[in-house]
Structures are given as structure tokens and as C-alpha cells.
Amino acid sequence: MKPTESSLTSLISAFGRAYHSQYDTPKIFDDFLAVNLISQQEFSDIREHMIRGIPFFNQDMAERLQDNPDEILKWIVQVQLSPTPLARAAYCENVLLNEVRLGLKQYVILGAGLDTFCFRHPELSNRLEIFEVDHPATQEFKKKRLNQAKFDIPSNLHFVPMDFTRQFAYQHLVEEGFENQKTFFSLLGVSYYLTKEEISSLLCHLFAKVPAGSSIVMDYADENLFEEKGRFNRVEHMVSMASASGEPMKSCFTYDEIENLLEPSGLLIYEHLSPAAIQDLFFSHRTDDLSAFETIHYIHAVKK
């Protein structure tokens, strides 16, 4: 990402959440506020770009649905775009809300993008301090969108501009009121784009100054990332699109490698969801094209 550019990824992710909230049933993750942070022009542009791109994703579908652009969009969003962002957000928030019930007071969202958790859970305004950490340009873009949508920023939401993938600095969090107490981190949609050394360094920095019981939910790609084609070749498409966008995928892991990566930070895997487990948990009994993405796993790891 260029220093002065907001993240296109965060905008497209918000588009996927907004589409799901408006058009899919049943809901895997209902981000009913996402649509407020995307302009009508952006929604239309992303929609048209995806519809025009159908031959890249699947030539047979391009021919079969050529007279029905709404069905083309639905197919691309459900097959390619939304499965991972929806399910990982649902899993993360399930874990987070359980931690809050157990007394958690601090939540740090790494790569927050256009996240709306704070606004969807006003009942937590006096119980949970939320720190959104993201690239300065992306964060400024979000602030403008919140202002345009007339969202009031609650006192428990703290913006921390930082390119944490290059260098994580706790001082920026402390300046926003972060305290040395049990903390929950989310790191979603990020690990693929970092080297193993960068991920290890980030985790060590994150957990160096928080007590035992602090934890993280993150997703990662398994060792089949660069060989697996996936349903309708969607894994292959994901990898090639990332490379074409200038943000190539760099890391994939076996389960043992993930365990070894977490160990220097004092982290133990509390829960691991494989693609099959994610399918059972979030996508079973669906009659549409939403299904768990091959090669993508979720973990909840806790500092011992």
C-alpha cells in the first residue's frame, strides 16, 4: 500500500459485508452498518468491476449468466469475495464477546479498516476500550466516512494510526489510554501478506507487555496455499489477484509451524478451526454458494 493511499482491500471487504447484510439469508455475520461507510458511487463501481470480471473467475458462469448481472455479482461475492471475511469476523466476535463476559476490558483491532464493531455494540461503551490500529491513510479515510455518515465517535473508541506491519509501537497505544491489563487482539486478513519473520516479530511485540490470559484471534493460510486450486479455482484466483494488486501473499504454514511461530511470544493455541470445521460451524445447511474457503484456518491463541 502506498503511504498516501487508503486500503482498497478495506473498501472491498466492507462491500462484501454490506452485500451479505442486504441480500443473503441466513446471515453468517450481519454488519448492517457497513453500507453507511461506502458511497453509492463506490458500491456501484465495485459492483460493475466484479460483473465485468466474471470471465476471469469462470468462463462457464460468464456464458450461463451473461444476461443476469445481479446473479453474476451474487456468484462472485458468494464464491470468491465473502466467505473468509464473513466467517472470520463472526468467529472473532464470538470469541471476543465471550471474553467480555469473562471481564475483558481492552480490545485491539490490528488492521481495522472499516470495522463497525464499536458502533454495532453501544452496550459495551462503558465496559470495553477499543483501539483501532491501522495505516494512517486508511484511518483518515474511515474518519471522513464516519463523519459523512454522521456517526458519533464514542469515548471508548480510540484511533491509533500506525503501520504496524513495519514497526509496532506500544507508545502510540498508551497515548490513547491503553493499560497493561488483559487484552484481546484481532489480526484478520493480514498474516498472508507478511513474511514468517514479520509475523513472529509482530506477535512478540504485541505480547511482550500484556499479562497472561491475553489472547489473539488470527487467520492463516495452510501449506497448500500455492498448490490448491479450490472450488471454481478460487484459491488460485485469490493468490493471483493479490499478486496483481501489488500485495502478494507471502506466508503459509503447517499446524506445527504455526505452533512454533507462536511459542516465542508465550502463546498456546486454545482453539483451531480447519476449513472443514469452519464449514460445519458457519456454512452447513446453506443452499446458496457460500462455503468455507479452502486452505484458510482460524486460531484463538492465549498467552500462558
Q: How far apart (Å, rounded) are the C-alpha atoms in residues 300 and 185?
A: 10
Q: How far apart (Å, rounded) are the C-alpha atoms in residues 84 and 68?
A: 25
| pTM recorded for the entire structure | 0.96
Ordered by start, the domain boundaries in the chain are 8-81, 83-303
Superfamily of domain covering 83-303: Vaccinia Virus protein VP39 (3.40.50.150)
Query: Of 236, 247, 6, 202, whose CA–CA distance to 110 is shortest?
Result: 202
- Mean pLDDT value of segment 37-61: 96
- Mean pLDDT value of segment 142-146: 96
pLDDT digits (tens, 9 = 90+) for 274-303: 999 999 999 999 999 999 999 999 999 999
Apex CA 57: angle with CA 53 and CA 61, to 5°?
A: 95
Low-confidence winner among 129-133, 155-159, 165-169 (lowest mean pLDDT): 165-169
Does residue 6 carry a pLDDT above 80? no
pLDDT digits (tens, 9 = 90+) for 165-212: 888 999 999 999 999 999 999 999 999 999 999 999 999 999 999 999
Q: Which residues lie closer than 8 Å to 117 by C-beta, 6 or more apart?
A: 93, 96, 107, 109, 130
Does residue 1 carry a pLDDT above 50? no
pLDDT attached to residue 114: 97
The dihedral built from the CA positions of residue 116, 83, 136 and 148, taken in this order, carries a sign that is negative
Are 66 and 58 spatial neighbours (Cβ–Cβ below 8 Å)?
Answer: no
pLDDT attached to residue 99: 98
pLDDT attached to residue 3: 41
Confidence of residue 4 (pLDDT cuts 50, 70, 90): very low
- Mean pLDDT value of segment 139-164: 96
